[in-house]
Amino acid sequence: MSRFRRWSARIWAWWSHIDTAGGVPGWYMWGKPLIGALLAAASGYFAWAQRIPIAFAIPATLLSVCAVVWLMNLLRITRAAAGVVVPSKDSDHAAIDGFMCLGSHEFYSSQDALKARRPLMPALRSTETSWIRCAVGTAIRSHDAVKSGRIQRLLLASPDRMTLEPLALAFGRSVEDLSSQIQLLTAEAQAREVEVKWSAGAMGDALIIGDPDSISGWAQVEAFLPGIPQNERPGFRIERVAHDKLFSVLKTAFEFAWEQASQPNVEFRRRT
């Protein structure tokens, strides 16, 4: 029994100190709880086989059950994340130009690469609820994303001229066009019972948070860089299961912007 304990401790210590600086690889996420479950089950078996006092056998059995539950929950998370922790080398996505995966970080050198790897609608359908912060929401309207039933909060730029003039210059579109786009999307979203707010502040980068209250949540940031065509702007995506601290920072940023924003002005929409 003591030899088994020593070997168990050595295996677990080795597994726990694997270098995961580049992110948590898939085999690590799957393997660690599996090793834990096997060690716990083996401990329970030895306790039973060697007639260890019940005070030791019961905790060993409970530990085995907890380890199996933990493993099953992690498998559910991995499925919900659609295998994004470490894409397969044989995946079709591996050949996408401008896409790079380091551990559980996904980097995109352009919006074209992001759309090829992470199309908007499949990304939304993989969630229960999503929060979206974007200036105008052109992609949301073009895909009828509000009909998906997965968008809970939608934060858009205020459609007034003062807010939209810098954006119009960056997007190469007129203020009137952007204002109309925002108001139409607002009406469509509210008709689908989506919470909508308008922000008079600088919108900056676009942000999508999938399943904000779940451990299987994810966050996607699309950089806003004036002077660079929209389809060439870089972005990145992270999974909460591997980057909980960064996920929490992005979630807090969204919540702060949401609290500062105002309800859509119905009279403003009627006048225009």
Place of tokens 């995506």: 237
- Give the angle 7-11-13 at the CA atoms, nearest 5°: 115
pLDDT at 20: 37
Place of tokens 């992270």: 238
**Helix (H), strand (E) at residue 105:** strand 105-108
Q: List the domain boundaries for the chain.
A: 2-80, 93-271
- Dist CA 42 CA 59 (whole Å): 13
pLDDT at 173: 87
The third-level CATH classification (topology) of the domain covering 93-271 is Endonuclease; Chain A (3.30.870)
Q: Which two tokens stand for residue 91?
A: 């995946």
Question: Do residues 136 and 156 make contact, with C-beta atoms less than 8 angstroms apart?
Answer: yes
The most confident of 59-63, 110-114, 214-218, by mean pLDDT: 214-218
- Dist CA 5 CA 205 (whole Å): 52
Q: What is the pLDDT of residues 128-164, one digit of tens each?
A: 999 999 989 888 998 899 999 999 999 999 999 998 9
Exposed/middle/buried for residue 123 (C-beta within 10 Å: 0-12, 13-18, 19+) = buried
Question: Do residues 199 and 261 make contact, with C-beta atoms less than 8 angstroms apart?
Answer: yes
Q: What is the pLDDT of residues 36-50, one digit of tens each?
A: 666 666 666 665 566
DSSP 147: G
Mapping DSSP to helix (H, G, I), strand (E, B) and coil, where does residue 262 land? strand
- Dist CA 48 CA 58 (whole Å): 9
Mean pLDDT of the chain: 74
pLDDT at 93: 45
CA distances from 129 to 125, 134, 204, 205 (A): 9, 16, 23, 20
CA distances from 228 to 59, 164, 192 (A): 60, 17, 33
Mapping DSSP to helix (H, G, I), strand (E, B) and coil, where does residue 133 land? strand
pLDDT at 225: 76
